[in-house]
Amino acid sequence: MDKIQMKTPLVEMDGDEMTRILWQMIKDELLLPYIDLKTEYYDLGLEHRNETDDQVTVDSANATLKYGVAVKCATITPNAARMDEYKLKEMWKSPNGTIRAILDGTVFRAPILVKGIRPYVSNWTKPITLARHAYGDVYKNTEIRAEGPGKAELVFTAADGTEIRKTIQEFDGPGIIQGIHNTDKSITSFAKACFEYALSTKQDLWFSTKDTISKTYDHRFKDIFADLYETEYKEKFEAAGIEYFYTLIDDAVARVIRSEGGFIWACKNYDGDVMSDMVATAYGDLSMMTSVLVSPKGVYEYEAAHGTVQRHYYKHLKGEKTSTNSIATIFAWTGALKKRGELDGIAELSDFAEKLEKACIKTIEDGKMTKSLSLISDCKDPVILDSEGFIKAIKETLETLL
C-alpha cells in the first residue's frame, strides 16, 4: 500500500513522561507505516522548555497560527517538586495556558464512547461536549479579607476620569470581599468558538448562566451569545438543522442529566471547571476524554484531556510493565489528521483517521483493553494488555479495516 501523502504539516507538540513514551509508539506503530507524515516538530518536554526559557512553547503556538492544526502530547505543569526534579531555572507556566493565551481559544472536551463501558448516567447514549470559557471570573479575582467592621465599595474609574461607585456591603464584623471581571471581547470570542464548533460538528449548542441573580454580569454573557446568534449564526444553524438553546445553569444541570447527550454545553469558567469533572467522571474514565482548543482565528489544537500519567512513568523507568491507555492520545492525532485532511481536501487522510478511531473502539469492544478500562467494562473476560500490547492490538484491528 502506498503511503498517504500530506500537503501541509501538522504542528507536533511533544510532551512529557508516560504520554511521551506513548507518543512515539503511536507514531511508530499506527501512523508512520501508513502516512507520509509531515509535521513541524516542537519538543515541549520540560527539559527542552527549560533549555529554551519556554520559547519553544511560544514558537509552537505561533506555528499553529501559521499552519492551522496542531496535535499536542500531555505536558508537565511545573510545581515546587518539579523545580527540583528537573533543576528548572524558573517555575515555567502551564504550556496549555501559554498556548491558549496566544490562540485565544476555547477548549471543547468530549468522551469517547465504546460499548461495554456504560456511563453512570444510563440514558447518556451520545457524547456531551463541554466548552469552558477559559478567561476571567473567579480565576482572575482580587480578594480582600476584611478583619473587622468597615465598608466595601465597587469603584470603576473610566478613562475620562468619571467614576461609578457602589456599596457592596457595610460590614459590622469580619468578612470577605471578592472582585471579578470579564471582557466583551473575551466573551464574544468564546461565543464565536462555540457557534463555529457546533456548526462544524453539527451538534446543538446549549449555554447556561445565572442571569436571574447576576443581572448585569451574567446577563451580559447571555446577551452577547443571543446577539451573535441573531446576527451571524441563526441562518447557518437552521440550514444545518441544529439549535441554539439558552437556559439557567440549574435548569441546564437537570436537563443534562435527563438528556441522551449529543450536544455541546457551553459553560462559564467556574461552571465549566466543575461540570467538566462531573461529565468526564460520569462517562467512565478520564483516559477516554478528548480535548480540542478551537480559536476564533480558525485554528485547532488537539490533545488528550488527561495528564502525563506520572505514576505509570515511574514504573516504566523502573523497568516494570505499565498498562496505560493511549486512546485519548490516539484520538488527538486522528482529530488533527481529519481536520488537516478536511482543510487540504485529502479524503484518504480523513478516511484513514476515521478507520484508526474505529480500530480503537473495536479493539476495546472485542475485549482487548488496558487495566483501568477493564475495571469499568462489562466485558466478561477482558484481555488486559500492557501499554505497548494495547497499541499493537489496535494495529492488528486497523489492518483488518484498511
Judged by CB under 6 A, which stretch of 25-33, 48-56, 98-106, 306-314 contacts ligand NAP? Answer: 306-314
Q: Is beta strand 150-157 parallel, antiparallel or unpaired with respect to 289-294? A: unpaired
Q: Are 246 and 207 in contact (CB under 8 A)?
A: yes
Radius of gyration over every alpha carbon of the chain, rounded to an integer in angstroms: 23
Q: Kind of pairing, strands 368-369 and 69-72?
A: unpaired
In angstroms, rounded to a whole number, what is the distance separating the alpha carbons of residues 361 and 23? 19
Nearest to Mg ion of 271, 357 (CB atom): 271
Q: Which of 10, 11, 30, 76 binds ligand NAP (CB under 6 A)?
A: 76
Q: Which residue is nearest to Mg ion (CB)?
A: 273
Distances (CA, A) of 387 to 25, 227, 372: 9, 48, 11
Among 96, 129, 186, 374, binds ligand NAP (CB under 6 A): 96
Check residue 269 for interaction with ligand NAP (CB under 6 A). Answer: no
273 binds, among ligand NAP, Mg ion, none (CB under 5 to 8 A by kind): Mg ion
344 binds Mg ion (CB under 5 A): no
Smallest distance from the beta carbon of 276 to Mg ion, in angstroms? 7
Q: If we measure between CA atoms, which residue out of 267, 291, 293 comes closest to residue 99? A: 293
**Total residue count of the chain as it appears in this document:** 402
The window from 48-56, 158-166, 172-180, 304-312 that contacts ligand NAP (CB under 6 A) reads 304-312
| By the rule CB under 6 A, 311 interacts with ligand NAP | yes
Give the pairing type, strands 289-294 and 300-304.
antiparallel
Which residue number, 75 or 334, has a Cβ lying nearer to Mg ion?
A: 75
Determine how many CB atoms are found less than 10 A away from the CB of residue 74: 29
Nearest distance from residue 377's CB to ligand NAP, in Å? Answer: 13
- For 16, left (φ over 0), alpha (ψ -120 to 50), or beta? beta
Question: Shortest gap between Cβ of 307 and ligand NAP (angstroms)?
Answer: 2
By the rule CB under 6 A, 308 interacts with ligand NAP: yes
The site string for ligand NAP over 270-289 (x = CB under 6 A, - otherwise) reads ----------------xx--
Please report, to the nearest 10 degrees, the dihedral formed by the alpha carbons of residues 80, 81, 87, 90 taken in order: -20
As a whole number of Å, the end-to-end CA separation of the chain is: 10
Q: Does 273 bind Mg ion (CB under 5 A)?
A: yes
Closest distance of CB 329 from ligand NAP, Å? 7
Q: Which residue is nearest to ligand NAP (CB)?
A: 307
The reply to whether 100 sits near ligand NAP by the rule CB under 6 A is no
Q: What is the bridge-based pairing of β-strands 175-179 and 150-157? A: unpaired
CB of 292 to ligand NAP, least distance (A): 12
Q: Is 306 in the site for ligand NAP (CB under 6 A)?
A: yes
Contact set for ligand NAP, span 45-74 (CB under 6 A)? 74
Angle, helices 387-401 vs 347-365, to 10°: value is 120
**Cell numbers found for residue 106:** 476555547
Pure H helices in 27-130: 46-51, 55-67, 80-85, 95-103
- CA dist 279 and 386 (Å) reads 27
Q: Which is nearer to ligand NAP, 52 or 77 (CB)?
A: 77
Site for ligand NAP in 115-174 (CB under 6 A): none
Torsion (CA) 185, 189, 190, 191 in degrees, nearest 10: 100
Chosen residue from 8, 62, 247, 372 binding ligand NAP by CB under 6 A: 372
Q: Shortest gap between Cβ of 324 and ligand NAP (angstroms)?
A: 4
Min dist CB 205 to ligand NAP, Å, is 24
Interface with ligand NAP (CB under 6 A): 74-77, 96, 286-287, 303, 306-311, 324-325, 372
Interface with Mg ion (CB under 5 A): 273
